[in-house]
Every structure is written in structure tokens, then in C-alpha cells.
A and B are shown apart, each in its own frame.
Chain A
């Protein structure tokens, strides 16, 4: 597993560094998406997560879901044009799952890229390390914080 400033980046996932999201290629033309360890650490204790409706077409850079930590709110941006196929009810009920299990139980939406969608900005963990290090430096973020029960 790749790591940058105590932040974990599982090798089997893809990443969009600028949007701070991970993707799991399900091998059937669909992808699961979620917040990276970096994103969950920067957000702090998350209270709410609300995905857009299943069936919704979302453009590149637009919001797939919103997450709130009480005094902060942010989008889960789509790394490519896609359709939302499913959302994770578990994180809508208990958003702290995003803190405890960002890469396992904490997937937020499953999507299918739109025809002709540009996936070229996605990189693997090794290639994402330098980009995330620069992202963290630009945001003056020193390193990840893992809550009790963190499972990656």
C-alpha cells in the first residue's frame, strides 16, 4: 500500500488527485467512488453524507454527493461524466463510516462513465503519491488522522 504523510492509498484503487477521490474499477464498466483517507482527515468528523439520486447524469467536476462535518461542507466531485447507478445507504445513515472505513465500507456511489467520458486523469496509487503530497502541502495539511476503529 502506498502512503504519503501517514495517509493510506491502497494499491488496488485508482485516484483523481485534484478531486481527492478514489475509484474501484469493478471490471464490468462500473466504478465505486469514495473520499480518500486524505479527504476524510481534512474534513474531520463527518456528520452527513447525501448522494444525488440514482439515475442522475453528472458532468465532470460536478457534485456526486455532499459531505458535512458540522462547520465544513464539501462536494464529492465526479472525475468524469457519468450516471449514478447506486448510492451507499450505510454512509447516509452513519457518515462516520467515511472516517472509519474510507476505502471499504465507505464507498459513496457506484457510477457508469458516460459514452466517450475522459478517464485520463485517473492514476494508480504509486503515481498519485507525488500529486497528493503537493495537494497536502498546498492546503497546509500535515498528515492523516485515523479515528478509533479505523480500518482503512
Chain B
């Protein structure tokens, strides 16, 4: 299968406490979208914090490196969809008002299972 026929889903459970794990998920989703795949990211557990206003702009995977917010924006520009888990929002006492504008919405567990089963490539971070 060529990448431009592929559906790629990236599940992100890592958050700001492990910043070194926070750039690669966006980079890989960006790559899938640039290759004309249909790329979507789903943020669970601590991953939802990357979609919280004010978090990603002060976060870098490596000292002196590019901000996670810039990785997010580049992935969005390439066409990556970004969705957050409703249960993880509750876990971190977040509401939709807390989400950055790059986030495309809140989804439940059934959506995530369906999306994973329907994908040609699933990545976990």
C-alpha cells in the first residue's frame, strides 16, 4: 500500500513530564500527512495536557530545541487531525475551554477503538 492510501493514527499518552517523548508523535503524524496519508492524533492520559492552552508553548523535547507548539502547528498545517480523550480531560480537570485552537475535538473510547481498527498504521507514544 502507498502512503497516500493509508489511514494513520497516532495515540499519545506521554505528556509534559516526559518532554523528550513529546515531539516525535507530531513529527510522525506530520510525515504521514505530508506523504498524503490521512493522519490523526488522539491524546489520552497525560497526552491531553499537550492540547491544553499554555503547555506546549513552553515545552521542548531537548534543551535549545524547537517548541512542541511549533511541532503541533507544523502538523496542523500538513493536515493532521488532533482529538482528545474525554476521560483524560476529566482526569486532568480540563474543559473544552482549556483546549488550544489546533485541537479538533473531544472523542470517546468507542471512537478510539473504531479509529484504531480502521487504521492501516497505529503508533503509540
Instruction: List residues of chain A with CB under 8 Å of any chain B CB.
Output: 52-53, 56, 62-63, 66, 68, 71-75
B37 nearest CB neighbor, chain A only: A63
B124 part of interface (Cβ distance < 8 Å): no
Give residues in B with beta carbon < 8 Å to A: 2-4, 23, 27, 30-31, 34-36, 65-66, 74, 78
13 contacts between A and B (CB under 8 A): A52-B2, A56-B2, A62-B4, A63-B34, A71-B23, A71-B27, A71-B65, A71-B66, A73-B27, A73-B31, A73-B74, A74-B34, A75-B35
Knowing A52-B2, A71-B65, A73-B30 touch, does A63 contact B74 (C-beta < 8 A)? no
Tally of contacts, chain A with chain B, CB under 8 A: 30
Chain A hits for B65, CB < 8 A: 71
Q: In the A-B complex, list the 5 residue pairs whose CB atoms are closest, starting with the nearest.
A: A75-B34, A63-B36, A73-B31, A66-B34, A62-B36
The residues of A that contact B66 with a CB separation of less than 8 Å are: 71
Min CB gap B52→A, angstroms: 23
Instruction: List 13 additional A-B contacts (Cβ < 8 Å) besides A68-B31, A71-B27.
Output: A52-B3, A62-B4, A62-B36, A63-B35, A66-B35, A71-B23, A71-B65, A72-B74, A73-B30, A73-B31, A73-B74, A73-B78, A75-B34
